[in-house]
Amino acid sequence: MGKLWDTICGIRDRNRPFCSAIIAAAGRSERMNGDNKLFMELAGAPVLMRTLCAVDQAELVDEIIVATREDLLEQVADLCSRAGLRKNVRVVKGGDSRMTSVLAAAMEADPRAELLAVHDGNRPLIRPEQFDDLVRRGDSTFAVAPGLPLSDTVKIVDENRRVKSTPDRRTLYAVQTPQVFQADILKAALQSAIEAGVSATDDCAAVERLGKEVYLTPGDPENIKITIPLDMIIAEAILKRREQER
């Protein structure tokens, strides 16, 4: 029965798109008071290790590619080896911007990859089942990302912080990761944006620039991005509650 089950699982796997997960981990942690947020201990494990372990548990991810700074290559590679990951994982040199880092990783993806799922290395609270859901949705669209409707009013200001306008909050969403794309579309979008000197803070923006449709799916308030010290406190509290709920 075991061999038969393995065969059935293998057939099922071949009937779905190959998905490479790209972990963006080349940031400078400029708002963390000098500490690198990726290596800060979060409930006993480094932030990046928690992120990698969550992605590793996603059933629809076939490989993991981590893009990081040149000076962190050895440290990240060591962290990956200590994480006990089951999937094939590679660490590649990123670039000077998010787009160049993601493109560098995308170009290193397995040639079979039809989908590329880009996730922030400093979003350690992503649930594996959420990652899988985004991959499924990405398989039926050009591009998809999780998003949360904003609860705060947003102001558009000039260089002197004088308010110029107030957009309708009902049309505004805070976008999270993973963002999942058809592989060829993401590569083309990133290359085009880089060649044009366009700067973007997320990968969807590069795809939007090509005129491709991007869809949002409901995000998770717990899928927070570790950016400032307060985020570590919130993340610790979320992990503690999750542990109590088991």
C-alpha–C-alpha distance, residues 186 and 90, integer Å: 19
* 84-98 pLDDT per residue, tens: 999 999 999 998 999
The single-letter code of the amino acid at 243 is E
pLDDT 10s digits, 180-198: 999 999 999 999 999 999 9
Distance CA 220, CA 126 (A): 8
Query: Which element (helix H / strand E) includes 179?
Result: strand 179-182
Using CA of residue 203, residue 169, residue 218, residue 29, what is the dihedral sign? positive
| Total domains in the fold of the chain | 1
Q: Whole domain around residue 70: which residue ranges?
A: 2-245
Q: What is the CATH number of the domain that holds 51?
A: 3.90.550.10
Mean pLDDT of all residues in 18-37: 87
Q: What tens digit of pLDDT does each residue of 186-244 get? A: 999 999 999 999 988 899 999 999 999 999 999 999 999 999 999 999 999 999 999 99
Which of 3-17, 105-119, 154-168 bottoms out in mean pLDDT, i.e. has the lowest? 3-17
Identify the pLDDT of residue 14.
Answer: 60
- Other C-beta atoms closer than 10 Å to the C-beta of 111 total 6
Rg (CA), the chain: 18
27 vs 68, residue with greater confidence: 68
Q: In 10 A of CB 24, how many CB atoms?
A: 23
DSSP run (H or E) holding 233: helix 229-245
Q: What is the largest CA-CA distance in the chain?
A: 70
